[in-house]
A = this chain, B = another copy of it.
């Protein structure tokens, strides 16, 4: 199969909203640039952590236009372009491909449950055929705890076989290490990214391409230390450190918690806004989270020596 365009630590970027509830393109672009300056190897904008499914396709495309116009290199971007409606998925994928994005991250259509693999296959095939962009690289997005619908191991193989130049990788947010391990064993060369840095070191030791992780929004440097030193003597200690931070954050609702941390460290309360159906972290929870992080010595974007 074809090589993908990404490796390392990718961040599913949080999407800021204005007090009126609109996507805040300027804050978004500034945050994306900062993540790249912190060392992010790519930006998986419009993922679950990004509240992408709380935005219309038009809102997502307008944000992407702004992001690229603001100078963020398209080849660093892996926008989420999956949708329940194939027409939306085609429009979003065509738009991302037209910008020359390094790849797209594709959720399966997730409204109808229990659909046969033939139906999911037809969905992906329909998107690829209609977009008809030879350079398009699709990363499948497997997140059954949220989407409920996922890409089975067999279906992944069938898609790789049918579209070897296009279906180049997968983000595995199943939370099941065995699924990640099975993908790596069955499809050597396929770019598998665990959806949490908790599995980063184990993944790299089995051939994973890196990870795409929510906590990357606040800890690119820490996670990249594992990526850069995974064959060194400090690898397990560095992994333990990022796992500890991850677990501290995921004790709270993840997206509101991450936004609260960003709002706190940037001194910008607007960053805490979420769109319904999410709700912001309450004051007591926010204080507890920040206290938990303080105990770990956490500072946003701190510059420690790589181990």
Contact indicator B120/A277 (Cβ below 8 Å)? yes
Interface residues contributed by chain A, number (CB under 8 Å): 39
Measured CB to CB, the closest approach of chain B to A16, in angstroms, equals 15
A88 at the interface (CB under 8 A from B): yes
A132 at the interface (CB under 8 A from B): no
A122 at the interface (CB under 8 A from B): yes
When C-beta atoms are compared, the residue in chain B nearest to A51 turns out to be B112
Number of identical monomers bound together in the oligomeric complex: 2
Cβ-closest 3 pairs across A and B = A119-B277, A53-B111, A123-B276
A45 at the interface (CB under 8 A from B): no
A70 at the interface (CB under 8 A from B): no
Q: Which chain B residues border A109 with CB–CB below 8 Å? A: 53-54, 276-277
Contact indicator A279/B113 (Cβ below 8 Å)? no
Which A residues are within 8 Å of any B CB, using their own CB?
Answer: 21, 48, 53-59, 84-88, 91, 108-113, 115-116, 118-120, 122-123, 126, 145-149, 275-279
Q: Which chain B residues border A147 with CB–CB below 8 Å? A: 111
15 extra A-B contacts, CB within 8 A, seeds A55-B85, A111-B146, A116-B277: A21-B86, A48-B111, A55-B87, A59-B85, A86-B275, A108-B277, A111-B147, A112-B278, A113-B148, A115-B279, A120-B276, A122-B277, A122-B279, A148-B148, A149-B277
Contact indicator B53/A122 (Cβ below 8 Å)? no
Which listed residue, B88, B108, B276, touches A122 by the CB 8 Å rule?
Answer: B276
